[in-house]
Amino acid sequence: MIDHQDGDIRDLERLKTRFVDVQPDVVFHLAAQPIVRLSYRDPVQTFDTNIGGSTNLLECVRLTESVKALIFITSDKCYRNIEQDAGYTEQDVLGGSDPYSASKGAAELVFAAYNASFFVQRDNLIAASARAGNVIGGGDWAEDRIIPDCIRSLQRDTPIHIRNPRATRPWQHVLEPLSGYILLGSEMLKGNSAVSGSWNFGPRSDEVRSVSDVTQEAIAIWGSGSVTLDDNRDHPHEATLLQLDCSKAQAELNWSPQWDFATTMEKTVSWYQLVHQGTRAISVTQQQLTEYEIGRRD
């Protein structure tokens, strides 16, 4: 049974009440203001949500003795981006020149402080932060994200507008990092304190692709479409190169990505295409989840 409740993590008192009512064993923290360009338009909301709201969540965990596992998800953009070709490791410097990236780096610092000051003192609690690559997959309709923007254009039969065709990102299907988060939680509940700390979850280094690659693959799978370059130079700064080094998760958790770039794009675009054609979203989602789970077991 799922008891779904909507709330605002900036509301500390309501969040405390929810923790008291539920008395959770495991907490997965994914709530955020996740859009880079929105962070330029509304930096106060971004910092208030991603730092203040995250601090509220950590405070509720501190006050709730029932919590045995905390998986605190931030972003691959928590690292200070120096436009390097190599993937960032969990030991690299945190930071960010845009409000979104800075808020995620700051959230990591707040997590580390709570973990060192409070969580490691509790015998029954293990906490870790997780940094995922650029997640794609069916069901995302947010503005200013490459896949939803592609799908809206493909459905309307209008050109896909892209700003930075050569920008690279560690694209991965949403089920990949979710499998990593669940694996972390499972190890925590077994009492494996070695999983405390920070973890990267992303694609293999040879699977990192550009925005241009994503749009061309989406068009090929959809069966039609075109691309136009947005030549407006007034856009706020966005990093060009970004990838993660996930060797720690591979070596210590025996976790590795299952779907390559081509499969990730096929599963993602086909989800939207099938739903657009009338298939129930939950049916497509359940089918893809089953396929992924079978692949994991194999």
* pLDDT value of position 230: 76
Entry pTM:
0.93
Contact 46, 39 (CB under 8 A): yes
Domain residue spans in the chain? 12-297
* pLDDT value of position 233: 66
Q: How far apart are CA 143 and CA 141, in angstroms?
A: 7
pLDDT tens digit at each of 298 positions of the chain: 789 999 999 999 999 999 999 999 999 999 999 999 999 999 999 999 999 999 999 999 999 999 999 999 999 999 998 888 788 999 999 998 899 999 999 999 999 999 999 999 999 999 999 999 899 999 999 988 999 999 999 999 999 999 888 888 899 999 999 999 999 999 999 999 999 999 999 999 888 899 999 999 999 999 999 999 877 666 676 667 788 999 999 999 999 999 999 999 999 999 999 999 999 999 999 999 999 998 777 6
Q: How many CB atoms lie within 10 A of CB 298?
A: 6
Q: Exposed, middle or buried, 101 (CB in 10 Å: 0-12/13-18/19+)?
A: buried
CATH 3.30.420.40 fits 12-297, yes or no: no
Tokens in use for 25?
């064993």
In angstroms, what CA-CA distances link 57 with 1, 30, 34, 132, 285? 23, 10, 17, 19, 29
